[in-house]
Amino acid sequence: MIPEERVGIIGWGSYIPRWRLPLSEIVRTWGFNPKEPEELNVAEKSVAGIDEDAITMGWEAAVNALRRARIDPRKIGSVWFGTESKPYAVKPSATIIAEALGITPETMATDLEFACRAASEALRISIGAVASGLINYALVIGSDTAQANPGDVLEFTASSAATALITGPREESAAYFEASATFVTDTPDFWRRDHSRYPLHGEAFTGEPAYFKHIVGAVKLLMEKTGLKPEDFDYAIFHQPNGTFPLRVARMLGIPKEKVIPGLVTPFIGNSYNSSALIGLSRVLDKAKPGQRILLAPFGSGAGSDAYSIVVTDRITEKQELAPTVDDYIVRKTSIDYALYAKYRRLINRIR
């Protein structure tokens, strides 16, 4: 048995703010081509409220994951928090969530960074820690308010959401990890320098040699490692910077779009960065059946991708109704205009 096979997902949960900004508002405000949202396959994006940030959203998602895990929070041996929009430049977010959930003090707690892949990086670390016996359970959180420079094309999709996974022993899991693989290079497609408020991006590099090369590379490594083929998977979930890239990379891998669409949340809420692929996994777990196999491939700029083969167990059905689903959050929404969005995301600096 390889290490991954000893570990599974004990609980999962997501959180999406109710506020939605129609992309037509961005078009109206900045004079973009009205067809731009259609080309991205995104109609609106979720926006964190004025009293929300990556920590509060991560806490909400973690509470939902604990409801499904049905374990004592004090048994969680680590809290790993992946984000690129943490509220504090110097102060861990993981400790705040761990304290609020009653997990401290006997636990590890760390914030991780790797653009949109930080939470996936945390997931791989949690698999190793649980498989080794170092800890019994790990809490992995991906949460972002996904900032974008006003008027930049990135503003169309940069959204807010969070997802949490609790990993633990395979025999207690709703789905276990069959194998994993990672593909990483130094590719400058997206970055934010110190003291810069908003990220920059090499737009021409976004697809190639960044997103497509790394996801395809990771998935092919996984398939070589396991002998699995595209037809062996019931679902395929990829990082979702927009609503078209996941479908394009699926075609490159020979995976039909019908297997991708159940985990696609970008058309509804935009790209929530570190929870992008994981919230797609959460949506699939909300409806998956025992015995089904899931391909998960997050991506992070800079650049790297992980690929996981995940097999659903008989425990899935008893956990699915214990917390709100991703679709529950998708339909719970209130539309706002660009002015309110600017207020909530503090895009305007007031001079006193």
The catalytically annotated residue of 4, 52, 84, 121 is: 84
> pLDDT (tens digit, 0 to 9) for every residue of the chain, 352 residues total?
799 999 999 999 999 999 999 999 999 999 999 998 999 999 999 999 999 999 999 999 999 999 999 999 999 999 999 999 999 999 999 999 999 999 999 999 999 999 999 999 999 999 999 999 999 999 999 999 978 999 999 999 999 999 999 999 999 999 999 999 999 999 988 778 888 887 877 776 787 899 999 999 999 999 999 999 999 999 999 999 999 999 999 999 999 999 999 999 999 999 999 999 999 999 999 999 999 999 999 999 999 999 999 999 999 999 999 999 999 999 999 999 999 999 999 987 765 5
**What local confidence, expressed as pLDDT, does residue 348 receive?**
79
- Check if 239 is active-site: yes
Query: Taking Cα atoms as reference points, which of 180, 219, 214, 163 lies closest to residue 311?
Result: 180
The catalytically annotated residue of 4, 155, 214, 239 is: 239
Domains belonging to the chain, first-starting first, are: 3-174+335-344 (3.40.47.10), 178-312 (3.40.47.10)
Query: Taking Cα atoms as reference points, which of 276, 285, 351, 279 lies closest to residue 322?
Result: 285
Q: Is the pTM of this model over 0.85?
A: yes
Angle at 175 between CA 180 and CA 278, to 5 degrees: 65
**What local confidence, expressed as pLDDT, does residue 350 receive?**
60
**What local confidence, expressed as pLDDT, does residue 351 receive?**
53
The catalytically annotated residue of 4, 44, 116, 172 is: 116
**What local confidence, expressed as pLDDT, does residue 201 receive?**
79
